[in-house]
Structure 1
Amino acid sequence: MRQASTDRRPKTAVAARNRPPAPPAWMRWLPLLYVVALLLIEPVTPTRWPVSFALIAVPLLAAFAHGPSVVACATVFAVLFEGVLAGTPCCAGRSVGYLWDRHYVASYICTALVGALGTILAAHRIRRERTLADVRFVADIAQRVLLRPVPHRIGRLRLASLYLSAAAEARIGGDLYEAVPTPYGVRLLIGDVRGKGLLAVETAAALLGAFREAAYDESDLPALADRVETSMSRRARLLEGTDPGERFVTAVFAEVPADDDVVRVVNCGHPPPLLIGPGEVRELDRGRSAPPLNLGMLVGDPYRVEVYAFRPGDQLLLYTDGVTETRDPGGVFYPLQQRLRSWGALPPDELLRRLHTDLLAHSHDRLQDDIAALTARRLADEGCAPQGGAAHDD
C-alpha cells in the first residue's frame, strides 16, 4: 500500500473506500456460463442422466458474487428452467416429458431449498464484507493520523514517503516516518518498532508524538534523541504484559539545516541512510551507531552526531529493514544499493514508485515485513520556500 505525500482525492472517492470490493468479473458471470454449459451438454446426454438436475448449483454459484435478491431470482430461474427441460420431450431423445415425474419434483424442491440457503448465505456475506470494509476504512484513517502524509516540499527539501504493509488487510503497523520543519532545520525520522500488532502501533504512535513535540524544542539531535527515548521508556513502563526492556525501537534522526549544505545524523540501531549523489550511492555509517531507543539505559553510550555533505541535487533515502530483507522465492535479499545505482538520479516521487514496484516484483507480491521509506532531495537556493513553513506543490 502506498502512503502518498499528499491526498487530493475528492471527498466522494474517500467516502467510497468503505464499500465492499467488487467481485471479479469471471465470478459474476459464472452462473450464466454454468447454465450455457449445461445447455450444450443436455442434448447429448442419455435419458437416464438428465443434466437439468445440475441446475441445483446455480443459486450457490450466484451467492459467491451477488446479493440476496439476485440469488433469489437465480433460484426462481433454476426451478423454472428445470421444469422446461423436464417437460420438453425432444431433450435427450425423450418421446415424452417428465415435468411432474417424482424425481423432477424432488429436484424442484431441492433447488428451492438450496436457493433459500444461498440467499441467506449471500446476505450474510454482504454483511461481513461491509463490516470488513468499515474496519479497513477505520484502519486506513488511523494510519493517516499516525503516518500523516509528508508535504511535497519543506524549505530546500523535496520529500516523498512510502509505506507498504506485508499483510494486505493490515493497514497499520510498527514502521514509521516523519518530517518536521523547525527553527534548526528540517528534521526527519524513520523508525521500526520491535514486534507486531496493536502494541507496536501504540508504541509507534507514542514515539511519533514525542518526536513531533520535541523536534521544535531541542536545539541538537542528541538532546532530541534523548528526549524521545525518555518518553519511550516512560511509556514502556506503563504498558503491561511484556518486559519494558523488550519494547524498543530502531530509529534514525536526521537534520538538514537551511544555512549549510550538510546533513546531521543520529543512528539508534537502524539501517544507515543512503546518500544518492552524482554517480554514487553510499551508506552514511561510520560504525558508531547508538543502541535502539529504550535500550540506551542498558549501555549508557551517548548519542553521536555524524555530519555529512549534502549538496544541491543530493538525495537522502531513509528506510526500514523490510526493504533490504525482502527476499525472492530463492531466498535472495533485495539488492537496494545495486538497484539505486542502476536507476540513476530520480525525483523523490519517482524513486519511491520505482522502489515500490521493484520490491513487489522481487518478492513476487509476497512481502515478508512492513516497509517504510522517506526520501529527501536537496534543492538549489533559487525559489525555495521559507524555512519555517511547508510548501505543497500543486
Structure 2
Amino acid sequence: MITVVDIVVPQDIHLGPLLVIAPAITASFAGPVLTGAIGVLAVAAQAYIGLHLGVLSSRNLMVQIAALAGLSALIVSFCVVRERRSRELAQVRSVAEAAQHVLLWPLPDRIGPLRIACLYLAAEDEAQIGGDLYATTRVEGGTRVMIGDVRGKGLAAVGEAAVLLGAFREATYQHTSLPALAAALERSVSRYQADFEPEGEAGERFATALLLEIPDVGRISRMTSCGHPAPLLLNSEHAVTVPSLHPAPPLGVGGMGPTGYALDVFSFEEGDTLLLYTDGVIEARDREGDFYPFAERAARWAESSPEALLHHLRGDLLAHVGGHLGDDAAFIAIRRDPIHQPGRNHGDRPP
C-alpha cells in the first residue's frame, strides 16, 4: 500500500522511508523467517519506487535502501534472540509445572462414597502453587484429608509445604488417631523448618493445618485443627453451618504431644457438602477493604456439584478482589453420596 501511494502522489512527496513499518510490525507476531522475507520485500519495494521515478541510482535513494536493509537485519536478529529466550522460558515453565504437580498432587475425583473437587489460586504471577497445601489418603474404613497454609510466600513456603505434605502421607498410616497424627506432623515441621527459614525470620515460621477423618459408613466425622479455620457444612436447603472446633496452636510453634490436640466430631450426612479452605479466601478484600463474604456466597450454590461449586466460588472471589489475590487461596469441596447396598431400600440409612 505504501508503494502504491508513493507512486500515485506527486513526485515531491516521498513515502518510501515508511516501508520500515512492514518488518517492524511483522516482528510483533511472526518469527525471523517471515520477518526477514517482509524486510526483503520492503527493500525491493523501495528499489521499485526509485526505478519508477527514475532515481534508482541517486545517492539519496541508495542511502535509504541501505538504511532499510540494515534496520530489517536488526529486526530479524531481535526476532532470533526473542525466539531463543521464548524457548528457554517455555522449558523453565514446563519444569516448574512438573515440579508443582509432583509436590501438590491433584486430588482424585472420587474416594469411596466421597466426591471431591479442589482448587488452588496462587497469588504469585505465573505460579500454580505457593504456601497452601492439601492432600487425601485412604485408611481402613475411611478417608483422611488435610488442608494447610504455610506462613509466608516464595520458595521457602513451597519447601515447608513439601515437608508437611510428605510427613502427612507417611504418618497418616502409622497413627490411628488424628491427635497422634497432628503430634507427628508437629515433630516433622519442627525438625526441618530451620532449613527453610529466611534470614531475619528465625522462629517465625509456622503452618496451620486441618485434619479430617471421614468414615465410609456412618455420619460421624472427626477433625483436629492446628490453628486452621473450621470448614463450612452445606446442605441442600442452602443452610451453612460451621462445626464446633477447638483449635490447637499452629504446627511449628510449640512441641505439643497427642494430648494437646482436641478431637472434634460433627455429623456429615448424605447429600451434604463439606467445604474446606485457607485463610486467603476469608481474608480477601475488595477495593473498599471489605472482606469476602465467603459463607454467604457459598450458600448460593449449596446444591451444586463439588466441581460447579468451586467454579462459581472462583469467579465470584476473583470478581470481589478485582482479579488479583493478595494471598494464596485453596478450596476442597467434598460431597457425601448415598451408599446403595444390595438388599437395602433406597431410603434406608446404613448402621
1:70 to 34, 51, 60: 34
Amino acid aligned to 2:87: R
Q: Counterpart in 2 of 1:10?
A: none
Q: Counterpart in 1 of 2:121?
A: 164
Q: Counterpart in 1 of 2:345?
A: none
Residue-by-residue CA offset, 1:100-148 (whole Å, 9 max, x unaligned): 3323222211111111111111111111111111111111111111111
* DSSP-derived class of the 2:203 partner: helix
1:68-147 alignment, distance < 5 Å:
68-89=32-53, 97-147=54-104
- Cα distance in 1 for residues equivalent to 2:280 and 2:309: 17
* DSSP-derived class of the 1:293 partner: coil
- Cα distance in 2 for residues equivalent to 1:289 and 1:239: 25
Q: Counterpart in 1 of 2:241?
A: 282
Question: What's the CA shift for 1:153?
Answer: 1.1
- Cα distance in 2 for residues equivalent to 1:259 and 1:106: 86
Contact 1:233 1:244 in 2 (8 A): no
* DSSP-derived class of the 1:376 partner: strand
Question: What's the CA shift for 1:299?
Answer: 12
1:374 to 332, 335, 338: 332
Question: What's the CA shift for 1:301?
Answer: 8.4
Provide the TM-score with structure 1 as the length reference: 0.80
1:17-28 alignment, distance < 5 Å:
none
Question: What's the CA shift for 1:375?
Answer: 1.3
Q: Counterpart in 1 of 2:15?
A: 51
Structure 2 residue 150 is the aligned partner of structure 1 residue 193:
yes
Structure 2 gap segments, 5+ residues each: 343-351
Q: How many residues align?
A: 340
Q: Counterpart in 1 of 2:179?
A: 222
- Cα distance in 2 for residues equivalent to 1:52 and 1:205: 61
Question: What's the CA shift for 1:41?
Answer: 6.2
RMSD value over aligned CA atoms?
2.5
Residue-by-residue CA offset, 1:330-379 (whole Å, 9 max, x unaligned): 43332211111222311111111222222233333222222211111111
Question: What's the CA shift for 1:39?
Answer: 5.9
- Cα distance in 2 for residues equivalent to 1:301 and 1:100: 96
1:243-282 alignment, distance < 5 Å:
243-279=201-237, 280-282=239-241
Amino acid aligned to 1:181: R
Of the structure 1 ranges 103-112 and 303-312, higher mean CA displacement relative to structure 2 is found in 103-112
* DSSP-derived class of the 2:260 partner: coil
- Cα distance in 2 for residues equivalent to 1:298 and 1:152: 34
Structure 2 residue 267 is the aligned partner of structure 1 residue 309:
yes
Structure 2 residue 320 is the aligned partner of structure 1 residue 358:
no
CA gap 1:356/1:151 in 2 versus in 1, 3 angstroms: same
- Cα distance in 1 for residues equivalent to 2:256 and 2:339: 44
Contact 1:190 1:253 in 2 (8 A): yes
Structure 2 residue 37 is the aligned partner of structure 1 residue 61:
no
Contact 1:236 1:244 in 2 (8 A): no
CA gap 1:137/1:383 in 2 versus in 1, 3 angstroms: farther
CA gap 1:43/1:168 in 2 versus in 1, 3 angstroms: farther
CA gap 1:340/1:51 in 2 versus in 1, 3 angstroms: same
- Cα distance in 2 for residues equivalent to 1:183 and 1:127: 52
Contact 1:274 1:281 in 2 (8 A): yes
- Cα distance in 1 for residues equivalent to 2:8 and 2:283: 58
Residue-by-residue CA offset, 1:157-192 (whole Å, 9 max, x unaligned): 111111122234123311111111112521111111
CA gap 1:278/1:83 in 2 versus in 1, 3 angstroms: same
What percentage of residue pairs aligned between the two structures are identical? 42
Residue-by-residue CA offset, 1:74-111 (whole Å, 9 max, x unaligned): 1101111122234434xxxxxxx433332322221111
- Say which structure, 1 or 2, has more relative contact order (CA 8 Å, 6+ apart): 1
- Cα distance in 2 for residues equivalent to 1:189 and 1:319: 11
